[in-house]
Amino acid sequence: MAVPRGFSLIRLEKDGYDSVLRVVGMMPIDGMEKHLAAVENRTGTSVFAPAVDIVLDPCERHEPAYDVRVPGSRITIEDEQAQLADYRIGRYEVTNREHRDFVNAGGYKRRDFWEHEFVHNGKVVSWESAMEAFTDTTGRPGPSTWVGGAYPEGQDECPVGGPSSLARMLTSLENYRMPLDFMLRNGWAVALPVLEGTFYRDRAPASGASNVARRDQFIRQVREMRRTINYLETQPDLDSGKLSFYEFSWGGGVGPILLAVEPRLKVGILNQAGYWVGRSDDIDLAHYLPRVRQPVLQLNGYFDETYRYEERAKPYFNLLGSEHKKYVVEPTGCR
């Protein structure tokens, strides 16, 4: 099946099986080692087209399963190949009603519901201490947004929010895993500008393009980000004095540049950031990182194959000029 350059969301259906949604596509590898699956698109840019194996699970129900399969993959950890197994995760976020059932079933009193150890600020926390932290505003067991052991009336089917200060921990009840997303539920607005060279505006400079062409595209991308900020300042329902910048992976190449030249951004969150391979010589992040003054939180996976910790991620953080900066490294790949 032919797919466009970039990434596409496809849906596969078959009678008697759960339908499957998958992101498939290709990613540029210009400047990186060639791969057997590398092909040339019409612009001459080399891209990596990974094979996709999709498993359909039998379904005897009329409604979709409450959880979905997440496919495993092969990754490299310290130059060793490792196979990650498939796992399942909830199709939707856990609701207040479902979490109330968890509480009523003794979720905060039974150790068998908690299958992972608790780690807070890099230290293992005892089960008893963790349970003491899982309390609502009145000190009763439950998410921190509840009152008196109950959630607000009329919010039965709303996603549960603010489980506790240890919200990163996973819980399970009947093998139900809980993915959490707090940003929108806590009053934040999100602006996602589609910059030149991304999504359907994919016009990456061709393989062998001059440094000038790559530099000029970077300049246009930063200008587009600044125009986005101009627009946000015109919106009366947004507090333009509290604008934050969040990036993931590729955005780490633009993030320091934008933070260095745009004082209207008050904080930066750099998720999976580091030096890119094959970037323009005219755009050296070493010139911008020391000029970042906003508070910055940087997150990286220690086993990230692209932003290797010692070579690309850690030096990137060390060069940040922020007086207030924090570095969180987890034993994962790119996440």
Q: Are residues 323 and 208 in the same domain?
A: yes
Q: Are residues 205 and 326 in the same domain?
A: yes
Q: Are residues 210 and 288 in the same domain?
A: yes
Q: Strand pairing of 20-25 and 118-120?
A: unpaired
Please give the residue that has the higher pLDDT: either 166 or 309. Answer: 309
Q: Which of 28-32, 47-51, 80-84, 165-169 has the lowest mean pLDDT?
A: 165-169
Q: Which CATH number characterizes residue 217's domain?
A: 3.40.50.1820
Q: Are residues 325 and 231 in the same domain?
A: yes
Residue 168 lies in a domain: yes
Residue 335 lies in a domain: no
Q: Are residues 218 and 281 in the same domain?
A: yes
Residue 74 lies in a domain: yes
What pLDDT score does 226 carry?
94
What pLDDT score does 295 carry?
95
Q: Which of 213-217, 221-225, 316-320 has the lowest mean pLDDT?
A: 213-217
What pLDDT score does 280 carry?
58
Q: Are residues 144 and 104 in the same domain?
A: yes
Roughly how many angstroms between the first and final C-alpha of the chain, as a whole number? 27
Q: Are residues 215 and 295 in the same domain?
A: yes
Tokens of 43: 């612009």
Please give the residue that has the higher pLDDT: either 80 or 235. Answer: 235
Tell which residue, 218, 197, 195, has the closest CA to residue 288.
Answer: 218
What pLDDT score does 233 carry?
94
Residue ranges making up the domain that contains 209: 199-330
H helix and E strand count, the chain? 5, 15
Q: Are residues 65 and 126 in the same domain?
A: no
Q: What is the torsion angle, in degrees rounded to the nearest 10, for the CA atoms of residue 228, residue 229, residue 231 and residue 232?
A: 120
Q: How many domains does the chain have?
A: 3
